[in-house]
Structure 1
Amino acid sequence: MTALLLGACLSLMAGLTLGLLGGGGSILTVPILVYVLGMEPRGAIATSLAVVGVTSLVGMLLHAKQRRVQWREGLLFGAAGMAGAAFGGRLGRAVPSQWLLIVFAGLMFITAFAMLRPRRAPGATPAPPSRNPWAAVLRNGLGVGVLTGLVGAGGGFIVVPALALVGGLSMPEAVATSLLVICLNSASGFLSAWLTGAPVDWGLAAGMSLATVAGSFLGTSLSRRFSPDGLRRGFALFTVVLGLFILVQELPRV
């Protein structure tokens, strides 16, 4: 009971991070499931994909009401990502669970680095589209999809700049459209993992989804009261510490 309550509080914090920073919160879901709630890593990754999918769907619908979602770019990127996520979900069956978590820790370090990079201002002029957008969409979409299916994280820190650079989207459009991509990738990765036998705790997935969505609404409402740069630096530091914790736990088991 104590673990479930702690898991709910941490899920609320993940959603709060998502609402405050516009991304990053989903990287906390797998560690919560594995190290707080004691789930087996493959089941945790599948359950995380369900949570990330629901959370990104809700966020995407809210942005769609404001006409920020660019459907053509999102569906093209998402189609490539879904293929990658399906492959990543199947690949996860062949990778030892310790290595899945070590790869996940590496992804946390990359996320922290991405959080510390200066972000383009929302009103800045969009970047010019890539000269060969189809190849770039295929490459980035497949890569993000494989990571999503393999370790259960949304990969928004890759999707957002890719949409901005490849498609020439403004930052608000890229953030909104990335939620469509993450939703599609998560759905594909989840189905691939579930259909190949990964255990899913449906009740836990529903509870964590509710807590994360509630946290994201709260974070969005509070976002104007905090310095985004300070929040990003704090979250990046926390992500590095959590990644180091995972390595300390898993490297001796290799």
Structure 2
Amino acid sequence: MPLLGFSLAALMGLSLGLLGGGGSIITVPILVYVMGFGAKESIAMGLAVVGITSLFGAASHWRRGNVQWKAALVFGAVAMAGTYAGARLSALISGTTQLLLFATVMLVSAVFMFRNGRKDSVQAPEPKKASFPLMALAALGVGGLTGLVGVGGGFLIVPALVLLVGLPMKQAVGTSLLVIALNSLVGFAGYLGHVEVPWVSLGIFTAIAVVGILLGTWASHFVSQATLKAAFSGFLVVMGVFIFFKNREALGLGGGAATTQNAH
């Protein structure tokens, strides 16, 4: 169902524009379960889509003064090393395993997003700067996860930039998009050579997603972030459980074969 998949690309862009994250968490299931691509192809494509789309979103936030370049480059440089390593490591595990890891990340992200949304409606934490080794460890972890399962990492990067780097929330969202762009594009480069990329589909999907992120960035001024995060966390739970269900045989639960596209 390529038409439905391309239509849902706008939803992915909206998520990035509104929340500063969530793009890849929507993109990979769309590419696998709606458009029928294999798991590894979908993860690689998702990184490219999220990388380019986030770059447009970061540019929009930069014009509003919400990108802290030093934090983006320092945090992003360390994260990119982890991303490339994670992308190379992904060649050693099956597509089904990647999807199960991906679903786990979705459920964890849902918990953090719901808790973060509740805090937003009460009081934001006081920004404070942590030591460089702690920041580097967090960046490596986010980067490795990005490369291994194709998650852009916005839900991890935004809290890290607030709590470890000491950025205000608005700057953390804008800076996060730049870090996501750098991470995702490096991760995509790590997949080139061992994954066949359908370039035409990738181009169309990306173009639609870019329109979505521009609309989402504009709409973010009019929508309650706490309400959005609570609703989106529920969506992540549904999608995470769905991916586990589709791959239940790989978990030894039986009841049907895992989808063939997940195995390669």
Q: TM-score, normalised by structure 2?
A: 0.88
**Aligned-pair distance for 1:199?**
1.5
**In structure 1, C-alpha distance between the alignment counterparts of 2:243 and 2:103, rounded to whole Å:** 6
**In structure 2, C-alpha distance between the alignment counterparts of 1:225 and 1:78, rounded to whole Å:** 29
Amino acid in the other structure paired with 1:249: K
**Aligned-pair distance for 1:120?**
4.5
- Identity fraction in percent: 44
Answer yes or no: is the 8 Å Cα contact 1:49–1:153 preserved in 2. Answer: yes
Q: Deviations over 1:166-222 (max 9, x none)?
A: 111111111111111111111111111113x11211111111111112112223333
**In structure 1, C-alpha distance between the alignment counterparts of 2:225 and 2:120, rounded to whole Å:** 13
Q: TM-score, normalised by structure 1?
A: 0.92
Matches within 5 A, 1:9-158: 9-117=7-115, 118-120=118-120, 126-130=126-130, 132=131, 134-158=132-156
3-state secondary structure, aligned to 1:128: coil
Corresponding residue of 2:197: 200
Question: Which consecutive unaligned segments of at least 5 residues does structure 1 have?
Answer: none
3-state secondary structure, aligned to 2:97: helix
3-state secondary structure, aligned to 2:192: helix
What is the Cα-based RMSD across aligned positions, in Å?
1.9
Q: Does residue 228 of structure 2 align to residue 227 of structure 1?
A: no
3-state secondary structure, aligned to 1:29: helix
Amino acid in the other structure paired with 2:218: S
Question: Which consecutive unaligned segments of at least 5 residues does structure 2 have?
Answer: 252-264
Corresponding residue of 2:161: 163
Amino acid in the other structure paired with 2:197: V
**In structure 1, C-alpha distance between the alignment counterparts of 2:86 and 2:20, rounded to whole Å:** 25
**In structure 1, C-alpha distance between the alignment counterparts of 2:84 and 2:119, rounded to whole Å:** 31
Relative to 1, partners in 2 of residues 1:220 and 1:73: Cα closer, same or farther, differing over 3 Å?
closer
* Alignment coverage as a number of residue pairs: 249
Stretches of 4+ aligned residues off by more than 6 angstroms: none
Amino acid in the other structure paired with 1:252: E
